[in-house]
Amino acid sequence: MRKVYFDHAATTQPDRRVVEAMLPYLEETFGNPSSIHDYGSAAKEAIEKARARVASLINAARPEEIYFTSSGAEADNFALKGIALGNQQKGKHIVTSQIEHHAVMHSAQTMEKWGFQVTYVPVDKYGVVDPADVARAITPQTTLVSIMHANSEVGTIQPIAEIARITRERGVLLHTDAVATVGIIPVDVKELGVDLLSLSGHAFYGPKGAGALYVHKGVRIVPFIDGGVQEGGRRAGTENVPAIVGLGVAAEIAKAEVPGRGAQLTPLRDRLARGLLERIDRVYLNGHPTQRLPSHVNVCVEYIEGESILLFLNMQGVAASSGSACTSRALKASHVLTAMGVDPALAQGSLLFSLGRGNTQEDVDYVLEVLPPIVERLRQMSPLYAARKDS
């Protein structure tokens, strides 16, 4: 049976070069980077090299603007809580959107419990934040705006540079969760104009266990993980040296390959989207028609549940998801789709195919071949579908 991995939004297979670079740091070069001896220096050197590589990938001016974390989620928590708490003498108001990743959204909700105000700006039917809404939401008490670069479920890319012009003008900091874009499409912190940016290694052929937060020099942020003096005193805990080394190599590879990744993925994405719409009745494509990631095809299939389709697809060797992996076991309608105005019943039938560099046209054609009979079979079992035919 053919195996098709169409769940790159959940995680990617680390590049062989990434794994090979990590191996020495798993065993021989095992020192603690904070130690004052050769074992420590070798580890320290390795993480500083990785820091420079990550800085270079996103065009940060200085390697020391990169703070390694254990994940994109930790980077998001660090950004929201670190900025809000570090700047509360100015005010206690945050602006974010209704379609953020839960790491941002739930951090914002925690801040509300701590006495902060949060405004969640809406999105249009394509999942796009209107910069004018952000501008209207900013008050003199606002310290931070956090809007994701691209939505990891529907792939819609946000007008971050436009939002940055507003936040700069209003003297407010701008964070973007770029976990879905860094290493996939070009990301340049200067062009975007952001003050903080979260990224995650395993999203772009790097290892799990290493993410980073970019913090523009001079930005006031308090540590999220308190403790030792690692990461300039801003993130405690012994550094995960092998994973950081792997993230650095993934960044270097991405820098070379990202310009070509869109050209490889876009035709596959479009072939898949077109094929689904042609071959399956009552299927709706989610997200913006053009301002979208080259990797994502998100559809709603009416009358059936996404999870059931996934189980049948899995039996045919196809790995996909119903949205965010971080909520997939929660079995709730996606907050992203409902914010876009998708009917909650329809949103239950959401399917996300996220393509990656190993995928081929044959993979796409295989999915287009196996999916329609699965949908047909599930619809035959669906009382909703039966009700529709009767009506």
Active site residues: 326
Give the pair of three-digit tokens for residue 350.
């959401």
Q: How far is the CB of 248 from its own copies (least distance, A)?
A: 15
Return the residue of 219, 326, 368, 384 that touches its own copies, per CB under 8 A: 326
Distance of CA 173 to the CA centre of its chain: 20
Closest CA relative to residue 375, chosen from 284, 312, 329: 312
Return the residue of 144, 276, 310, 374 that touches its own copies, per CB under 8 A: 310
Q: Are 344 and 173 in contact (CB under 8 A)?
A: no
Closest CA relative to residue 249, chosen from 215, 201, 212: 201
Q: Which residue lies nearer to its own copies by CB, 131 or 239?
A: 239
> Would you count residue 226 as binding its own copies (CB under 8 A)?
yes
Choose the binding region for its own copies from 89-97, 144-152, 226-234, 356-364 (rule: CB under 8 A): 226-234
Q: Which residue lies nearer to its own copies by CB, 170 or 357?
A: 357
Q: What is the DSSP letter of 280?
A: S
Three-point CA angle 347, 350, 355, nearest 5°: 150
Give the pair of three-digit tokens for residue 248.
């650095």
Residues 112-171 that bind its own copies (CB under 8 A): 114
Three-point CA angle 192, 179, 102, nearest 5°: 110
At residue 17, the 3 state secondary structure works out as helix
Q: H or E element: which one contains 299?
A: strand 296-301
Q: Which residue lies nearer to its own copies by CB, 159 or 317?
A: 317
> Would you count residue 31 as binding its own copies (CB under 8 A)?
yes
Q: How far is the CB of 211 from its own copies (least distance, A)?
A: 8
Residues 38-67 that bind its own copies (CB under 8 A): 38-40
Distance of CA 376 to the CA centre of its chain: 32
Choose the binding region for its own copies from 225-233, 264-272, 276-284, 379-387 (rule: CB under 8 A): 225-233
Give the pair of three-digit tokens for residue 12.
């990617």
Site track 246-285 with its own copies (rule: CB under 8 A), x = hit:
----------------------------------------
Q: H or E element: which one contains 384?
A: helix 383-390
Return the residue of 82, 155, 242, 349 that touches its own copies, per CB under 8 A: 242
Choose the binding region for its own copies from 16-24, 261-269, 279-287, 356-364 (rule: CB under 8 A): 16-24
Q: How far is the CB of 143 from its own copies (least distance, A)?
A: 17
Q: Are 240 and 95 in contact (CB under 8 A)?
A: no
Residues 195-214 that bind its own copies (CB under 8 A): 200, 202, 207-210
Q: How far is the CB of 279 from its own copies (least distance, A)?
A: 22
Residues 349-368 that bind its own copies (CB under 8 A): none
> Would you count residue 11 as binding its own copies (CB under 8 A)?
yes
Q: Which residue lies nearer to its own copies by CB, 26 or 61?
A: 26
- Residue 36 half-sphere exposure toward CB, CA atoms < 13 A: 0
Q: For the chain, give the number of residues.
A: 391
Q: How far is the CB of 110 from its own copies (least distance, A)?
A: 5
> Would you count residue 98 as binding its own copies (CB under 8 A)?
no
Q: Are 258 and 185 in contact (CB under 8 A)?
A: yes
Q: Which residue lies nearer to its own copies by CB, 39 or 126?
A: 39
Alpha-carbon gap, residue 385 to 200, rounded angstroms:
40
Q: What are 319's strand-pairing partners?
A: 5
Those residues whose C-beta lies under 8 Å from the C-beta of residue 45, and which sit 6 or more positions away, are none
Q: How far is the CB of 100 from its own copies (least distance, A)?
A: 10
Q: Which residue lies nearer to its own copies by CB, 8 or 269?
A: 8
> Would you count residue 21 as binding its own copies (CB under 8 A)?
no
